[in-house]
């Protein structure tokens, strides 16, 4: 796959697909600008090369409508402060307004187009919409790893129309880290998988079984696995329709010699609330009507032992409802364990990254992916449509 370094961009109009889908407060203030900062190396490189850099992104899910709260205008202002230069803002991503902004650009200047998802054609990968977008530029760069699992117009439609195209530095870095951790890992490779639902991670769990040496399963999804092994998990969240599948997955792991660690104790609560009454119990003793909302201290020790000699760790999903202090200890302990490990450690998904940030371990993680769904798709062993579209029609 070509990268931006392989492309001739000096004096060219370069459309860079970024993922500026950042969290905002009600006043339009950006509450976490990580995704914008992570795109800066590509933006700055392109500007230094004398390209006319046209950025495009989605924000939220406005469903093809112009919804003010999803405007990228505050992002343009924020980006301008980060790069210390003007960012021209086009109030529409295609049509006369976008064309006028692009026409007025000189070499080495920067513009941001309004939210792509104000047009239904973006998510529908409408060919006309893709053509209009592609017509704004001569070169296409994808630096939006986090949306590269979506077959949307700006992700797959536009690159298919462009002869000159490549990956930005962030997309390249994300793929390289993932490749290092999953395809050529230094072993033992240990996966930590948590979060609410088995259903959303079944593909990832299945694929990971073929790659990892050990797998730790926590979060609400662990309940389904525990129940599949005959434990009574009380009123804990369980996907009953997946009990059979969960049991088979554990059996397959045994056949392959992959050790799967499930919680041995939990923090049980009489309700899903910050002030619920809680009890630390073994998994045999979850009171009827109570729910498991975090892994317990014995599980933390077992999981820590499984991680002790790891050389590569891939983490997706929290161990409990860590947004409530009463159920944060398991995820916090795991964040500290991963943070203090000498392994190559990679986290992906909004919740795992939020946990790593919350517990002050961001500096100690080798790489925190900007992707949620895209990271999961790689964990499933699938190719990202946005990456495939970059490679189409290229010789190498
Ligand atoms: C994300 O936040 O995971 C990406 O920006 C993709 O957003 P989407 O799930 O709305 O497509």
Whether 311 is covered by a domain: the verdict is yes
Whether 384 is covered by a domain: the verdict is no
**350: confidence class by pLDDT, cuts 50, 70, 90:** confident
**27: confidence class by pLDDT, cuts 50, 70, 90:** confident
Domain boundary (111, 137, 171) is at: 171
Whether 94 is covered by a domain: the verdict is yes
Percent of the chain residues topping a pLDDT of 70:
99
- Tell me the DSSP string of 59-79: -S--TTS--GGG-SHHHHHHH
Residue with tokens 């190396």: 41
Question: Picking from 19-28, 87-96, 363-372, which range would have the lowest pLDDT averaged per residue?
Answer: 19-28
In tens, the pLDDT along 104-144 reads 999 999 999 999 999 999 999 999 999 999 999 999 999 99
- Are 160 and 59 in the same domain? yes
pLDDT of amino acid 220? 96
To test the ligand 1 pocket, which listed residue (117, 146, 379) has its Cβ within 8 A of the most ligand atoms?
A: 146
Tally the domains of the chain: 2
pTM above 0.90, yes or no: yes
Whether residue 396 is predicted with pLDDT greater than 60 in this model: the reply is no
- Are 272 and 338 in the same domain? yes
Whether 318 is covered by a domain: the verdict is yes
Whether 393 is covered by a domain: the verdict is no
pLDDT of amino acid 312? 98
- Are 152 and 288 in the same domain? no
Residue bearing the CA closest to ligand 1, atom 2: 21
Q: Kind of pairing, strands 139-142 and 189-193?
A: unpaired
Ligand 1 atom nearest to 146, measured from its CA: 4
Whether 270 is covered by a domain: the verdict is yes
pLDDT of amino acid 328? 98
- Find the 147 Cα to ligand 1 centroid distance in Å: 6
- Find the 133 Cα to ligand 1 centroid distance in Å: 20
Binding-site residues: 19-21, 35, 58-61, 117, 150, 201, 323, 349-352
Higher pLDDT, 241 or 27: 241
Residue bearing the CA closest to ligand 1, atom 11: 147
- Are 211 and 145 in the same domain? no
pLDDT of amino acid 231? 98
- Are 196 and 124 in the same domain? no
- Are 105 and 135 in the same domain? yes
Whether 67 is covered by a domain: the verdict is yes
Mean predicted confidence (pLDDT) in 293-299: 98
- Are 109 and 217 in the same domain? no
Mean predicted confidence (pLDDT) in 302-330: 97
Mean predicted confidence (pLDDT) in 216-227: 97
Q: Residue 53 forms beta bridges with which residues?
A: 14, 110
Task: Tell me if residue 81 is catalytic.
Answer: no
**7: confidence class by pLDDT, cuts 50, 70, 90:** very high
- Find the 373 Cα to ligand 1 centroid distance in Å: 7
- Are 325 and 220 in the same domain? yes
Ligand 1 atom nearest to 35, measured from its CA: 5
- Are 129 and 159 in the same domain? yes
In tens, the pLDDT along 33-77 reads 999 999 999 999 999 999 999 999 999 999 999 999 999 999 999
Whether residue 270 is predicted with pLDDT greater than 70 in this model: the reply is yes
- Are 345 and 198 in the same domain? yes
**395: confidence class by pLDDT, cuts 50, 70, 90:** low
Q: Residue 261 forms beta bridges with which residues?
A: 216
Residue with tokens 């590509």: 42
- Are 22 and 112 in the same domain? yes
Mean predicted confidence (pLDDT) in 221-234: 97
Q: How far apart are CA 366 and CA 129, in angstroms?
A: 39
CATH code of the domain covering residue 236: 3.40.50.1260
Mean predicted confidence (pLDDT) in 83-96: 98
- Closest listed residue to residue 7, CA positions, set 138, 157, 144, 160: 138
Whether 388 is covered by a domain: the verdict is no
What percentage of the chain's residues is helix, strand, coil (to nearest 5)? 40, 15, 40
Domain boundaries, position 20: 4-171
Q: How far apart are CA 71 and CA 67, in angstroms?
A: 7
Task: Tell me if residue 35 is catalytic.
Answer: yes
């Amino acid at each position: 796959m070509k990268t931006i370094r392989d492309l001739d961009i000096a004096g060219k109009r370069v459309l860079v697909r970024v993922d500026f889908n950042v969290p905002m407060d009600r006043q339009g203030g950006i509450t976490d600008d990580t995704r914008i900062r992570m795109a800066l190396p590509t933006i700055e490189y392109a500007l230094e090369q004398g390209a006319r850099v046209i950025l495009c992104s989605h924000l939220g899910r406005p469903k093809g409508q112009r919804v003010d709260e999803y405007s990228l205008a505050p992002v343009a202002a924020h980006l301008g402060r980060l790069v210390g230069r003007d960012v021209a803002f086009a109030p529409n991503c295609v049509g006369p307004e976008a064309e006028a902004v692009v026409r007025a650009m000189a070499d080495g200047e920067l513009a941001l187009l309004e939210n792509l998802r104000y047009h239904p054609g973006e998510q529908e990968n409408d060919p006309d919409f893709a053509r209009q977008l592609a017509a704004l530029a001569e070169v296409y760069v994808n630096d939006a790893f986090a949306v590269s699992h979506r077959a949307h117009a700006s992700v797959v439609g536009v690159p298919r129309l462009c002869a000159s195209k490549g990956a930005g530095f962030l997309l390249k870095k994300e793929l390289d880290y993932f490749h290092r951790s999953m395809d050529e890992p230094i072993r033992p490779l240990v996966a930590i998988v948590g979060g609410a639902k088995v259903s959303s991670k079944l593909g990832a769990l299945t694929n990971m079984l073929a790659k990892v040496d050990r797998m730790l399963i926590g979060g609400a999804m662990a309940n389904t696995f525990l129940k599949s092994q005959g434990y009574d998990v009380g009123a804990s969240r369980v996907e009953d329709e997946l009990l059979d599948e969960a049991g088979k997955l554990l059996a397959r792991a045994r056949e392959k010699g992959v050790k799967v660690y499930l919680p041995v104790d939990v923090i049980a609560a009489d309700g899903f609330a910050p002030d619920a009454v809680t009890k630390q119990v073994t998994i045999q003793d979850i009171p009827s009507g109570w729910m498991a909302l975090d892994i317990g201290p014995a599980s933390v020790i077992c999981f820590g032992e499984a991680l002790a000699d790891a050389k590569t760790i891939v983490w997706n999903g929290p161990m409990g409802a860590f947004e409530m202090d009463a159920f944060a200890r398991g995820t916090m302990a795991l964040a500290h364990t991963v943070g203090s490990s000498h392994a190559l450690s990679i986290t992906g998904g909004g919740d795992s990254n939020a946990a790593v940030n919350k517990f002050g371990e961001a500096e100690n993680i080798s790489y925190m992916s900007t992707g949620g769904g895209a990271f999961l798709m790689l964990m499933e062993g699938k190719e990202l449509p946005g990456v495939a579209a970059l490679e189409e029609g290229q010789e190498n």
